[in-house]
Structure 1
Amino acid sequence: MTSPISIFDLRGKAAFISGASSGIGQHTARMLAKAGAAVALAARRTDRLDAVVAELRSERHKACAVRLDVTDPSTIEPAWREAEHQLGQPIDILFNNAGVIYIERFTSQSYEAVSRIFDTNLKGAFMVAQEAARHMSTHGQGSIINIASSSGLRAGGQMSSYGASKAALIHLTQIMALELARKGVRVNALAPGNIQTDMQAEFTERGIEDGIMKRIPMRRFGEPSDLDGATLLLASDAGRYMTGAVIPVDGGQVLSWM
């Protein structure tokens, strides 16, 4: 019988993390490396990744940095191939994390702002996942983890474009899971709530943190490490019979009323 602990072991696997220059992406790259995976950190500016890669290599983890702009399709395939080349193995795990947020009332959002949200959060995630699926299908295995949001599961004021992009990503996750199941590729989504990252600063600047806190049953914002357990479940053999799942990690926020 497989050990309950060993099924979470990622040794021998390789992970590609988009949006790895800060926040959840950077934290998860470190966590997956410490769980045994070789990791490729991807972002628009690789200079913001170099220190993390050096740190991981100094700890004897296999890591590399690749340039990726999810809003520029021409960068996606080269980034994936470069990651596999540098790591010296096929990529088994995609942590599809690159995203942006925009807080504004529905009637005030500009076309440019809405386009930026959807270009990054939906179209960008779609194209990166598509590239991953093509490669993983060839190898007959893989796990794609789309980073959605609790805003894609519940309505929230001033979050129309962001919430809609994440709701669409959740639906995309389920369609992908349906199409890719027989190819050995699992597709699931995490739906974080308010996590203490640079993105959270937007809420602080607008003075709406207290109002949000009151809608979280656990009465605290999450830390990036609060996503570790769910991420490891989906990335590892522990979640080998899971596909099409959407896991909220939000302190119960999806249970609260608007």
Structure 2
Amino acid sequence: MSVEPRHRDLFDLSGRSALVTGAAGGIGAAVAAALAERGAAVLVTDIDGAAAAVTADKIVADGGRAASAALDVRDRAAAESAAAAAAELADGTLNIVVNNAGVTDPAMFGDTTEESVLRMLDIHLMGAFRCAKAALRYLPTDGTGRIINVTSSAGLVGTLGQINYSAAKSGIVGMTKSMARELARRQITVNALAPAAATPMTATIRTDPKFAEQMLNRIPMRRWAEPREVAGAFVFLASDAASFVTGQVLPVDGGLVM
């Protein structure tokens, strides 16, 4: 009978591969860097392929393993290609999928168009679905397979002026829980994170005087996180430390949702 080392590093991701979407900047770039720091080989993807390459190059310059690819998560063929490329980084196995890609299109309900709702659903909800589905054939069943979806407080409690975004992010919660139930029999965990960080996507809320104070009043810690502050939660869910955690939604938001 084999005995595990007494001081095994539960957060060591050496020998594993990861696919991170929307990783040209913000949370995605921070997560890609954090996974690489723990030893994972990371495929950095973004709709802006040139910007994704910059992120990957920085990871490599810092001593990590990374490659990049342009990926529009609305394109099923592109998602399948990205999953295959990520698996090639670890001899045909893709251990970690982080579905982070997203955009916002704020408007009050009366001004929200059907087209904008469908666009948010296509990018956030269907984008995560496509990438997870594409990765499924490469995910191992040895207990190291991870799907980590990104939702938001908007998907948990709703947000003024974001009917479209809130609907898409709420859908991700339901999809995460259903995927977790189904894939548990294959020892693949599926979880979601709801971060609140200072990124280009939150710039409108953070810089608009009307919304900025209201939002900060809702966050007990009275500030936004830097992307690197939320990246550790992704590493946790990707690691052996979270081998028995599945179907959960983890807010990393300074107490915004509790």
State the TM-score, normalized to the length of structure 2: 0.92
Residue 228 to residue 44, structure 1, CA distance change in 2 (3 Å)? closer
**Cα shift at 1:52:** 2.2
Where structure 2 has 5 or more consecutive residues not aligned to the other structure, the ranges are: none
Query: Matches of 2:98 and 2:175 in 1, distance apart?
Result: 15
Alignment correspondent of 1:142: 145
Alignment correspondent of 1:202: 204
- Within 5 Å, give how 1:38-77 maps onto structure 2: 38-77=41-80
Residue 181 to residue 209, structure 1, CA distance change in 2 (3 Å)? same
CA offsets 1:118-173 (integer angstroms, 9 cap, x no match): 11011111111111223215777400000111111112211211111111101100
159, 172, 177: which is aligned to 1:169? 172
Alignment correspondent of 2:223: 220
- Conservation of the 8 A alpha-carbon contact between 2:98 and 2:149: yes
Letter in 2 for 1:142: G
Query: Matches of 1:229 and 1:63 in 2, distance apart?
Result: 18
Please state if 1:16 is matched with 2:23. Answer: no
- RMSD after superposition: 1.9
Deviates more, 1:170-179 or 1:59-68: 59-68
- Conservation of the 8 A alpha-carbon contact between 2:10 and 2:239: yes
Deviates more, 1:222-231 or 1:11-20: 222-231
- Conservation of the 8 A alpha-carbon contact between 2:148 and 2:192: yes
- Conservation of the 8 A alpha-carbon contact between 1:143 and 1:235: yes
4+ runs of 1 displaced by more than 6 Å? none
**Cα shift at 1:58:** 2.5
Please state if 1:128 is matched with 2:131. Answer: yes
Query: Matches of 2:142 and 2:240 in 1, distance apart?
Result: 16
Aligned residues: 254
Please state if 1:237 is matched with 2:237. Answer: no
State the TM-score, normalized to the length of structure 1: 0.92
Please state if 1:94 is matched with 2:97. Answer: yes
Query: Matches of 1:118 and 1:64 in 2, distance apart?
Result: 28
Query: Matches of 1:230 and 1:165 in 2, distance apart?
Result: 22
